[in-house]
Amino acid sequence: DDIWHAAFNSNGTYASASSAAAVAEKLIAAISNIAGRIGSASAVALNSGTLNANSRVYQAKFDSNDWSGALVSIPIQSGQTPVAPATTTCTSEALGELCPQEWNAAEELESMNYNVRKVFTRNIDTGTAVEFKTLSDLAASQQTALRTNPDTAAVESTTIGQQRLNYVLGDNSNEGTASSEFRVRKLTALGTGKLGDIIHSSPAFSGAPDSFYPDLLEGVGNSYNAYRLANENRTPMVYVGANDGMLHAFNGADGSEEFAYIPGPLVNKLNQLSSKNYNNGHTYFVDGSPKIFDAFDGSSWKTMLASSVGAGGQTVFGLDITDPDGFSTADVKWEFSDADDADLGYTIGDVTFARMNNDKWVVIFGNGYNNTEPDGNVSSTGNAVIYVVDAFTGALIKKFDTGVGTADDPLNPGSNRPNGMARVSAVDLDGDFNADYLYAGDLFGNVWKVDVSATSTASWDFAYKDGVNPKPFFIAKDSNGDVQPITAGVAVKRHPLKKSQTIVLFGTGKYMEVGDSAIPTGGGPIYSFYGVWDDNTASQYSRSQLLQQEILNQTVVSGADGIDREFRVTSSSEQPAYKIDWTSDKGWYMDLRYSNFYGERVVVEPVVRNGRVIFVTLIPDEDPCSSGGDGWIMELNADSGSRLPASPFDVNGDGIIDGDDFVNYSSEDTIVSGVKSRSGIVAKPGILNNPKGGTDEYKYFSGTSGKVDIVGESSNPNSRRRQS
């Protein structure tokens, strides 16, 4: 089978497809089984890292009834008097709780006249940026696509093509039920279909520059602090991709749209949005998550945005968002697609940015999945690949080809299934703010390490080799020796005893191929979470050389707040069998299985924070009336995989994390390591510090139920608490 999530129709069930465009629609991730409901499948964004009077959560949503979307701003109770432009009053007095939403960008977009919007794209013939306003400014193929009736395939007049372009911008004058009219976008619970559904694109907040760079990182006369001060009053913005064809730039204060961008290759399928059958044939567009970073272009500091289009296609793009109020065609910097390199697939993982040892700023990304799709730019190998491109031009600087592709599928030999690389992590080991190593996992269970510590790009190469062939740092396999796929990014931390060496933390599992939501009766694949020691040798360690940690118990606790929560107990280093010995153990692993429950997996990148590894798991549910499944929020000691010495969670629901937060296990008061999601499948958390103490930090998880799950936690794993 192709590397895709099962495509969905209006009932949330699988619909086979053979064309290249239809095959792409098999990608649905966390909503593959959600029928006709409002939900959320992407992470939230926060506008600060510390709780204050202006703290906000930005959450993206979708409505699968009509594929409309929303981006909402939700104030957070801080115990302080809000300052402008806050427009709501919190009804809860509990710190960290969410207040009523203050705006919805979908409603703001509905009130905006289509012909005053600032929307940009790229003419794919000339490679130049243009305003998306006049049909004749586009490439010939883009014009033809917009003139094509999506229901009859007839190429219509240029007048209708212009009308369809206006429709994409929000013009509703040609909507109706007649055969010559376009799909009607109705007002819904989320707002209006003018803002398309936002599924996998996690919003990104950008305010004043706030990177922790040394002032003179780029030399005398190029002060980063001066750049920060010059832009400290920059308009706060929230950027998010939507399946209406656009990367939207919304004002973070009031939700109004400042501008939008349509990646050039996506113009050729925008006509699908006008189809009267669109509600039964959803199309992905800008489905990737934007990443924002400050970088130096050789003459001045800039704030850049880079993003893939995720399930929407095989394209990555870069924009200069230094001045969002004055954004113009000059700020559309680059696109990199499978037309530039056929090994690029659907890049589902986020991009990474870094400063390299040649003093260049770059964007790094894995090639993603299904690069053998018959779209005119077909990979001849299906190999997993890592790309490094110039952050300002998109020019390819280096391509790292693993040489592992369709001929090497460990699970389905002979199936011609392509491999694919997940998100890439860049690591700076010597503290000079330059990337020294890259780590990434692939669909075939390999973890790769690339050495980029040299000043010359010619010397950048895979860290480990078997002769001339790249050699994985680690291959994830279960207890039966079956390969475990890796589809999320890895996290990397220093080894506790060897500061020049690392521990690589990652989960295994996938939720993208047909059948991934099914769990066979009586069993199924067992996925694991790993912490593997990279000791800079060519040794490729195996599972048998790692310490096994275990999930020991699950129990429900009725909290003082009236909420029942389910918690997990895992193994502890206080027990000799679970205490890591660095003279013999090369890391640790934990199988994601308790009792006879199967199918739990990790498809979201973990977070390392204060000595802990934080990760969320996914347990699919084929019931179309559910939220697609649920999962667990886990926190373990990152070095050993042991449970923490103090509770990270408010177990008894009294709003304070203290010595009373435990469960009874084996007749002892025992610290917990996980709490079950109450919002369906959850995404990577947004984390907010609480300077007032009590609950040291809050984690905000957006879930497929459409709700935001709030978990108050202790940020100090070694603080004095009751221990088992």
What six digits make up the tokens of 672?
A: 């917990």
Which residue in 647, 620, 644 sits closest to 631, CA to CA? Answer: 620
In whole angstroms, give the CA distance from residue 363 to residue 435: 12
In whole angstroms, give the CA distance from residue 11 to residue 31: 12
pLDDT band per the 50, 70, 90 thresholds, residue 695: low
Is residue 514 scored above 80 in pLDDT? no
Among 55-64, 436-445, 540-549, 691-700, the minimum mean pLDDT is found in 691-700
Is residue 13 scored above 50 in pLDDT? no
How is residue 583 annotated by DSSP? T
Look at residue 715 in the predicted model and tell me its pLDDT.
64
pLDDT band per the 50, 70, 90 thresholds, residue 650: confident
Identity of the residue numbered 543: R
Buried b (16+ CB within 10 A) or exposed e, 575-584: eeebebebee
- Cite the beta strand spans of 242-314 per DSSP E: 247-251, 257-262, 291-296, 301-308
Read off the pLDDT of each residue in 91-110 and give the average, rounded to a whole number.
Answer: 86
Q: Which residue has the higher pLDDT, 152 or 559?
A: 152
pLDDT band per the 50, 70, 90 thresholds, residue 16: very low
pLDDT in tens, 576-599: 999 999 999 999 999 999 987 778
Identity of the residue numbered 154: A
Read off the pLDDT of each residue in 538-556 and give the average, rounded to a whole number.
Answer: 94
In whole angstroms, give the CA distance from residue 159 to residue 708: 45
pLDDT band per the 50, 70, 90 thresholds, residue 627: low
Read off the pLDDT of each residue in 530-543 and give the average, rounded to a whole number.
Answer: 93
Read off the pLDDT of each residue in 1-22 and give the average, rounded to a whole number.
Answer: 28
Look at residue 694 in the predicted model and tell me its pLDDT.
56
Query: CA quadruple 253, 255, 257, 260: dihedral positive or negative?
Result: positive
What six digits make up the tokens of 443?
A: 């669909």
Which residue in 235, 215, 234 sits closest to 226, CA to CA? Answer: 215
Predicted model pTM: 0.92
Percent of the chain with pLDDT over 70: 89
Among 31-40, 181-190, 347-356, 449-458, the minimum mean pLDDT is found in 31-40
In whole angstroms, give the CA distance from residue 553 to residue 57: 33
Q: Are 125 and 137 in contact (CB under 8 A)?
A: no
Read off the pLDDT of each residue in 418-429 and give the average, rounded to a whole number.
Answer: 97
In whole angstroms, give the CA distance from residue 494 to residue 316: 31
pLDDT in tens, 226-275: 999 999 999 999 999 999 999 999 999 999 999 999 999 999 999 999 99
Look at residue 28 in the predicted model and tell me its pLDDT.
41
Sorted by sequence, the CB contacts under 8 Å of residue 711 that are 6+ apart come out as: 633, 649, 675, 685, 698, 699, 701
- Per domain, the residue ranges of the chain are 113-337
> What pairs with residue 206 in β-bridges?
237
Look at residue 364 in the predicted model and tell me its pLDDT.
99
Identity of the residue numbered 605: E
Read off the pLDDT of each residue in 653-673 and give the average, rounded to a whole number.
Answer: 88
Look at residue 36 in the predicted model and tell me its pLDDT.
54
Q: What number of H helices and E strands is found in the chain?
A: 5, 46
pLDDT in tens, 143-178: 999 999 999 999 999 999 999 999 999 999 999 999
Q: Are 143 and 158 in contact (CB under 8 A)?
A: yes
Tally of CB atoms within 10 A around 556: 10
Sorted by sequence, the CB contacts under 8 Å of residue 411 that are 6+ apart come out as: 444, 482, 483, 485
Look at residue 678 in the predicted model and tell me its pLDDT.
86
Which residue in 425, 424, 405 sits closest to 415, CA to CA? Answer: 405
Work out the angle between the directed axes of helices 158-169 and 140-147 (0-180°, nearest 10).
Answer: 90
Q: Is omega for the bond preceding 85 within 30 degrees of 0, making it cis? A: yes
Look at residue 34 in the predicted model and tell me its pLDDT.
46
pLDDT in tens, 475-484: 999 999 999 9
pLDDT in tens, 275-330: 999 988 899 999 999 999 999 999 999 999 999 999 999 999 999 999 999 999 99
Q: Quick one: residue 432, left, alpha or beta (phi over 0 = left, psi -120 to 50 = alpha)?
A: alpha
pLDDT in tens, 46-84: 998 888 888 999 999 998 888 999 999 999 988 765 544
Q: CB under 8 Å, gap of 24 or more: what pairs does 294-301 form?
A: 294/209, 294/211, 294/213, 294/224, 294/227, 295/353, 295/355, 295/361, 295/391, 295/392, 296/217, 296/218, 296/222, 296/361, 297/361, 297/391, 297/392, 300/222, 300/227, 301/209, 301/218, 301/222, 301/224, 301/227
Buried b (16+ CB within 10 A) or exposed e, 354-378: bbbbeebbbbbbbbbbbbbbebebe
In whole angstroms, what separates CA 705 from the centre of its chain?
18
In whole angstroms, give the CA distance from residue 33 to residue 618: 14
- Mean pLDDT, the chain, rounded, equals 89
What six digits make up the tokens of 174?
A: 């040609």
How is residue 246 annotated by DSSP? -
Look at residue 471 in the predicted model and tell me its pLDDT.
97
Q: Are 601 and 527 in contact (CB under 8 A)?
A: yes
3 state SS of 161: helix
Look at residue 2 in the predicted model and tell me its pLDDT.
28
In whole angstroms, give the CA distance from residue 264 to residue 128: 10
Percent of the chain with pLDDT over 90: 70
| CA distance from start to end of the chain | 48
Is residue 395 scored above 60 in pLDDT? yes
Q: Are 689 and 50 in contact (CB under 8 A)?
A: yes
pLDDT band per the 50, 70, 90 thresholds, residue 6: very low
